[in-house]
């Protein structure tokens, strides 16, 4: 008799006002396999995963778990059916221990008290069983990014999950952590756990997946295996074109220094150093890359440069003017642009129309303002130009930003910053969470701006992106530079060694 699918979706459709997110989706995930789901931003992957996890209810279609029809009205019901989801952005309390994070909401009781000893034993046993070692008593704030991800996986396994949805699990991991994660995934698979793996990194999909389902335009357009396709063919299935590459080797670096940062330091409220004597230069026509594991000072560096950290000391000289005491608005006016790390939290007003979002940070100057008044007509015209030039897919500039896919939101932010013609652009994770098509578009715009003389500071967790785009790379570890590297002579593995603190240059 044929084996029942762990998850079987048939004819699943989900409509939102003005858009069909999923249309007649077919997905069959067999028990104990790693099943990757790939597609461009806006292809319908996120909505589909939310349906499986009970966060969203479909308008039509059927969902079966182990051959039994289900209709989840909440994630709790999905968890009770054995489905767990590890989100791309971790949902952990830093000031809690591993144990407290894992059991939160599912506390084991001994009488009226929480049975911490039993919980600690269960967490340790789960870690040993699935190759996810953790100290239950360790505070989450002391863990590396890879270890935090283990906490998230243990958290769903602790609740009895047999089917795991991993949403962009490698987005913020260095190569060594990716290898450790893949070892854990293989251990989970050997123990019979079924894994749905969502990723934009096609080489990783081909390495870890048993089966691959491709989505495009809200539909499932094909199912294949790594033995049947390579990355180029998979990209063509997703977007109809070859897999893009960030690589650029022609130098456009000029002698003129646009940004010179020296002795930049920052401490938190209790005196712990967040940045330690950071110094670097950005020339016209140069991309300076900053590599580092999340939590090692990148966010503080961006905030200090743009003017959101009042306690930063040192010098920040832009085109000859020291801006260290200037407010963020003045730094923007002086020629500093910013593509923020989190487009939705820091870069957009999601309920507002695109033309208002295109004005953010530039609302005091032409073409968005005339004197003290907003110039709606010119603002809309400028936004239409951004939409055209940066190929933002939208019916009009009046739709809210929340209606765009992640890739199109990112292209709007990139377009807003580049068309403002800054002297130096801080690009923090410019392609995080977007598909290969949108990624290629962002890369091309950064290359084009660099060739035109823009200075770019690039912070990215994508090491291939850093190596491919940068003219020089600095590695940030615990708030200080530990290496300065030539992208033409460095590998992702080399970068990972410095990023984890396993190596340090004598002089940087």
pLDDT of residue 241: 62
pLDDT at 78: 95
Round to whole Å and give the CA distance between 439 and 430.
8
What residue ranges define each of the domains in the chain, with the CATH number in brackets?
A: 7-239 (3.40.50.300), 252-335+422-508 (3.40.50.300), 349-421 (no CATH)
Q: Does the predicted TM-score (pTM) go above 0.75?
A: no
Q: What's the pLDDT at 300?
A: 94
The CA distance from 374 to 351, in Å, is 19
Residue 244: what pLDDT?
Answer: 65
Residue 508, pLDDT score: 54
Peptide bond into 150 cis (omega under 30): no
Residue 223: what are its φ and ψ, rounded to 5°? -130, 135
Phi-psi sector, 370: left (phi>0), alpha (psi -120 to 50), beta: beta
326 Cβ contact partners less than 8 Å away, ≥ 6 residues apart: 307, 334
Find tokens 């989900």 and name the residue.
Answer: 14
Residues 6+ apart with CB under 8 A from 182: 204, 207, 208
Q: Which residues contact 23 (CB under 8 A, 6 or more apart)?
A: 13, 44, 217, 218, 219
How many CB atoms neighbour CB 182 within 10 A? 16
b/e 113-139 (16+ beta carbons within 10 angstroms → b): eeebeebbebbbebbeebbbebbbeee
Instruction: Per-residue pLDDT tens, the chain, 508 aa: give them.
Output: 568 899 999 999 998 877 788 999 999 999 999 999 998 777 888 889 999 999 999 999 999 999 999 999 999 999 999 999 998 778 888 889 999 999 988 887 777 788 889 999 999 999 988 888 899 999 998 888 788 889 999 999 999 999 999 988 887 777 788 888 999 999 999 999 999 999 878 889 999 999 999 998 889 999 999 999 998 888 888 876 666 677 776 889 999 999 999 999 999 877 788 999 999 999 999 999 999 988 889 999 999 999 999 889 999 999 999 999 999 999 999 999 999 988 988 899 999 999 999 999 888 888 888 888 877 889 899 999 999 998 898 889 999 999 887 888 999 999 999 999 999 999 999 988 777 777 888 899 999 999 999 999 999 988 889 999 999 999 999 999 999 999 999 988 889 889 988 877 855 5
Rounded-to-integer distance, Cα 10 and Cα 25, Å: 6
Smallest CA-to-CA distance from 442 within 211, 219, 200 is with 200
| Contact call for residues 338 and 362 (beta carbons, < 8 A) | no
Task: Give the pLDDT score at 237.
Answer: 86
């Amino acid at each position: 008799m044929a084996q029942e699918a762990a998850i079987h979706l048939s004819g699943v459709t989900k409509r939102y006002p003005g858009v069909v997110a999923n249309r007649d989706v077919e997905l069959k995930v067999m028990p104990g396999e790693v099943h990757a789901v790939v597609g461009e931003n806006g292809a319908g992957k996120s909505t589909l995963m939310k349906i499986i996890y009970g966060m969203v209810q479909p308008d039509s279609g059927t969902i079966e778990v182990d051959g039994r029809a289900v209709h989840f009205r909440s994630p709790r019901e999905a968890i009770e059916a054995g489905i767990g989801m590890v989100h791309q952005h971790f949902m952990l309390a830093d000031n809690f221990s591993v144990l407290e994070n894992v059991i939160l909401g599912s506390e084991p009781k001994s009488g009226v008290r929480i049975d911490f000893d039993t919980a600690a034993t269960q967490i340790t046993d789960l870690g040993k069983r699935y190759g996810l070692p953790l100290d239950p008593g360790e505070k989450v704030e002391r863990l590396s990014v890879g270890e935090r991800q283990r906490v998230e996986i243990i958290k769903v396994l602790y609740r009895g999950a047999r089917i795991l949805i991993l949403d962009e699990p490698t987005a913020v991991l260095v190569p060594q952590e990716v290898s450790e994660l893949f070892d854990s995934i293989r251990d989970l698979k050997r123990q019979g756990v079924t894994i749905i793996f969502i990723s934009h990194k096609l080489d990783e999909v081909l390495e870890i997946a048993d089966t691959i389902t491709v989505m495009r335009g809200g539909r499932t357009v094909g199912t294949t295996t790594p033995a049947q396709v390579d990355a180029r063919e998979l990209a063509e299935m997703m977007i109809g074109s070859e897999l893009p590459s960030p690589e650029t080797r022609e130098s456009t670096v000029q002698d003129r220094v646009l940004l010179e940062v020296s002795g930049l330091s920052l401490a938190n409220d209790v005196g712990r150093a967040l940045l330690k004597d950071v110094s670097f230069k950005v020339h016209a026509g140069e991309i300076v890359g900053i590599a580092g594991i999340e939590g090692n000072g990148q966010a503080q560096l961006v905030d200090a440069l743009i003017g959101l950290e009042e306690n930063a000391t040192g010098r920040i000289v832009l085109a000859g003017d020291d801006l260290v005491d200037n407010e963020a608005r003045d730094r923007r006016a002086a020629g500093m642009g910013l593509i923020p790390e989190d487009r939705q939290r820091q870069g957009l007003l999601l309920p507002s129309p695109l033309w208002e979002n295109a004005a953010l940070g530039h609302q005091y100057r032409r073409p968005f303002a005339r004197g003290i008044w907003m110039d709606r007509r010119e603002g809309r015209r400028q936004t239409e130009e951004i939409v055209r030039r940066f190929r933002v897919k939208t019916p009009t500039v009046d739709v809210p930003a929340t209606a765009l896919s992640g890739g199109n939101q990112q292209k709007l932010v990139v377009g807003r910053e580049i068309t403002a013609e800054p002297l130096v652009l801080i690009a923090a994770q410019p392609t995080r969470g977007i598909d290969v098509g949108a990624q290629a578009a962002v890369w091309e715009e950064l290359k084009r701006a660099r060739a035109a003389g823009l200075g770019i500071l690039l912070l990215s967790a994508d090491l291939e992106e850093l190596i491919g785009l940068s003219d020089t790379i600095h590695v940030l570890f615990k708030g200080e530079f530990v290496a300065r590297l030539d992208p033409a002579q460095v590998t992702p593995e080399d970068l990972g060694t410095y990023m984890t603190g396993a190596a340090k240059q004598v002089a940087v």
